[in-house]
Amino acid sequence: MFALPPVTQALILINVIAFLLDLVSGQILSEFMALWPLGTNFMPWQIVTYAFLHGGWSHLLFNMFGVYMFGADLERVWGPRRYLTFYMVSAVAAAIAQLVVSTLTGAHYPTVGASGAVFGLLIAFAMVFPRRMVMPLFPPIPMRAPIFVALYGGLELFLGVTGTQAGVAHFAHLGGMAGGYLLLMYWRSRR
C-alpha cells in the first residue's frame, strides 16, 4: 500500500474498515464506540474506540490523509512501537480534553474521528522535521512545518473559543496536540 510503514498502513485500514462496518450496520458501532460525554452513555473503552470511527467520507479521507502525510515519516524515524504509542496517547489526550470541555459546557453529543491523534502527529512532525516545507490546501502557500502547525493550532483555538463550526471538537484537536507535545517532551527528557 504505497510502501507505507506497517503501523501507518494498519491504522488506515482499521479506520476504513471500521467506517464501512459502521455504515453497513446503520451506525450501530457509533452507538457504543463513539465518545459520549460523562453520563449514562459513556463507557471507558470509548476513550480509545472513538478514534477509529468517522462521521462521513470527507472526515475519514482528511484524517487518513493526515495519517499518511505525517505519520509515515514519523514511523520511519521512531519505529512501529514508539509511533503507535505516540498515536494512541494523542488520541486518548484528545478524548480527555473533549470530556472535560463537554462536562464544562454541558454539551451532550458524541465525538468520533482520528483528528485528535492526527493533531498529535502534526505537532510531532513539526518538532521532528522543523525544516520540512508543508503546502496546506488553503491557502496554498508553502511554509515550514512549525509555522503551519502554529497557525493551524491557533485557528483551532480561535474556532473553539468562538464556537464557530458547531459539531467540530476543536478542543479535542488541541488536546491531541497537547498530549503529543507532552509525550515528546517526556521522551526528550529521558535521553
Domains and CATH numbers, the chain: 6-189 (1.20.1540.10)
Which residue is listed with cell 482520528? 114
Q: Among 110, 120, 106, 87, which Cα is nearest to 5's?
A: 87
Measure the CA–CA gap between 175 and 191, rounded to whole angstroms.
25
- pLDDT confidence tier of residue 1, bands split at 50, 70 and 90: very low
Q: Which cell is 37 given?
A: 460525554
> Cα–Cα distances in Å, from 17 out to 53, 92, 145?
9, 21, 30
How high is the mean pLDDT of the chain?
A: 95
pTM comes to 0.95
Q: Report how far residue 156's alpha carbon sits from residue 164's, in angstroms, rounded to the nearest whole number.
A: 10
Residue 168 has pLDDT above 70, yes or no: yes
User: Phi and psi at residue 53, in whole multiples of 5°?
Assistant: -115, 155
